[in-house]
Amino acid sequence: MDQKPHYQLFIDGDWTEGASGQVMTSLNPATGKGWATFACAAPQDVDRAIAAARRVLEQPSWRDMTQTQRGKLLYRLADLIEGNADQLGHVETTDSGKLLVETTSQTKYVAEYYRYYGGLADKIEGAVLPIDKPDMHVFTRREPIGVVVAIVPWNAQMFLTATKLGPALAAGCSVVLKASEMAPAPMLEFARLFEQAGFPPGVVSVLTGDAENCAIPLTRHPDIDRIAFTGGPDTARHVVRNSAENFAVTSLELGGKSPILVFEDADLDGAANGLIAGNFGASGQSCVAGSRGLIQRPIFDELVRRIEEKAASIIVGDPLAAATHVGPLCTAAQVKRIEQTLAVATSQGAAIRFGGSRLDRPGNYMAPTLVECRDLNTETLKVEMFGPVMSLLPFDTEEEAIAIANGTEFALGSGVFTQNLARAHRVSARLKAGICWINTYRAVSPIAPFGGYGQSGYGREGGMEAIQDYTRTKTTWISTSEAPMANPFVMR
C-alpha cells in the first residue's frame, strides 16, 4: 500500500511537527478516503511563527532590503509558481476536489499577481506637504504595517493567498499564513517555494489547524498588526471580536448571494453561458457565484430551456480528468446542507427543473441543479449554497429587478446581461455590490480591486489601493530655521 504524504508546518524557515503532536487526515473529495496527513499548530507554534515574523522586521536581511529588491523576489516567486503550477494544481485537486484544469490554469495566472505587486514594490511613495508654517519641511513616507496574519479558505487558495501575500510582501511586511484545515496541502506545498525564491526565514510562515489551537491564538495575538481574512460571516465575527484584543487593522472578504440580471434584449446564448459559469464554475464553490438568476419574464421560458440544455451536457466526474466539467464538493457536509436547503425550497413550492440530488457514487458529488423559485421567500434565494445550485426567478421591470437584486444582506458580486448600454450603466450604478460584471461573469485581474459591502465584508484586495492597506503613514517635521527652537511658554 502506498504511504500517504505527510505535511509539516512551515515556521521560521523550518519544517516542523506541531507542538501538541496533533495530526489530521485530509480526505480526497472524489473518493471520500484519506490521502494525506498534516500536522496541526498549537498555540506554542503560533507564538513561534509570530515571534519570527516580528524579529525579521528588524533584521537587516529584510528591514534594509530595498523595495526594488523585494520586487525582484516577488518576480522570482512568480516564476517558481508558474514552473510548479502542474504539481501545485494536482495537489490542490486531490485535496479539495477542484478541477485539475482549473487549479493548474488558476495557479499559472496567480503568478501574474505576484508580478503585479513586484512591479508596484518600488512605487510606494510619500509626499512633501505644502505646510502652512514657515521654516518647516514636512514630508510623509509609507512604512510596512508590520506582522500580517493572512487567513484563507480552501476553495481558491492560490488566488486568495496572492491577493494578500503579494501586496504585504511588496510593502515589506512579514506574514503568517493560516491555511484552512480543510484541504491545506496546496498551501504547505506552496511554502516550499519561499526559500527557493530567496525570502529570509521568518518573512513567511505557513500554519494550519483548528480554531481553538490555531486561528483564535493567531487573531488574538498581541504582537500582530494586520489581519486579512477570507471566509464566512460567522467566523468573521469571531475574527473582529478577537482583533479587539490587539487593535489589528482588519479586512474581510466574506460570502455572497450574487444576482445575475438578464434583460429581454440580452444575447440569450451569452446569458445562458454566464449563468452556467456563475453557478457551475468551480462546482459552485465560489464566493461570487451568481446563484440568483433574475430573468425578465418575456424571455424566462426560453432562457431556462437553453440553460437546461446546456446543463444536460455537463460532465460530472473525476476532477483529475480533462473532460470533467463539475467535480465533487470539498466536504460531505456541503452536500448534506444543499440537500436540506433544497428540501425546504420544494416544500415552499419551488420546482427542481434539473438535478436536485447527490449522485450515487463514492465521493461528495452533487448534480448540477436548477431551481425555479415561486417567490422571494424561497430558501435557495436566501442561503449561500456553495455548490452547483442555480435559483431562477422572473421579474417584470428594471426597478423590480434592482429591488430584488439588492434585497439581500450580501453585496459582493453581481452581473447584468443586456445589449442596452444606457441600461448597463444605469443598473450597474444602482446595484449594491462591490463588483459588477456586464455581459460576462467571474473575470478577475490583479489590476482590479475585489471585495464587497455589508455581510460580504469590507476592504479591497487587488489593484493599486490594496498595497496601501499594508502600510502606515509616517509624517516627519524638520525645522529649516537656523534659530533654535523658541521658548514654548512665550506665546507670540
Which residues are tagged catalytic?
A: 253
Name the nearest CA neighbour of 220 among 250, 242, 249.
242
CB 255, CB 236: distance < 8 Å: no
389's CB contacts (< 8 A; 6+ apart) are 279, 284, 291, 338, 341, 342, 366, 369, 371, 380
Q: Report how far residue 433's alpha carbon sits from residue 256's, in angstroms, rounded to the nearest whole number.
A: 10
Collapsing DSSP to helix, strand or coil, 283 comes out as: helix
Report residue 292 as a C-alpha cell: 440568483
Q: Report how far residue 452's alpha carbon sits from residue 442's, in angstroms, rounded to the nearest whole number.
A: 14
Q: Which amino acid is at 313?
A: S
Q: Report how far residue 111's alpha carbon sits from residue 154's, in angstroms, rounded to the nearest whole number.
A: 18
Q: Across the strands, what pairs with 435?
A: none
Collapsing DSSP to helix, strand or coil, 478 comes out as: strand
Name the nearest CA neighbour of 92 among 180, 165, 184, 27.
184
Grid look-up 449554497 returns 385
94's CB contacts (< 8 A; 6+ apart) are 28, 30, 35, 36, 185, 320
What is 2-60 written as a DSSP string? PPPPEE-EEETTEEE--TT--EEEEEETTTTEEEEEEE---HHHHHHHHHHHHHHTTSH
Report residue 417 as a C-alpha cell: 446581461
Name the nearest CA neighbour of 384 among 182, 233, 211, 184.
233
Q: Across the strands, what pairs with 226?
A: 148, 249
Q: Report how far residue 450's alpha carbon sits from residue 457's, in angstroms, rounded to the nearest whole number.
A: 11
- By CB atoms closer than 10 A (0-12, 13-18, 19+), residue 225 is buried
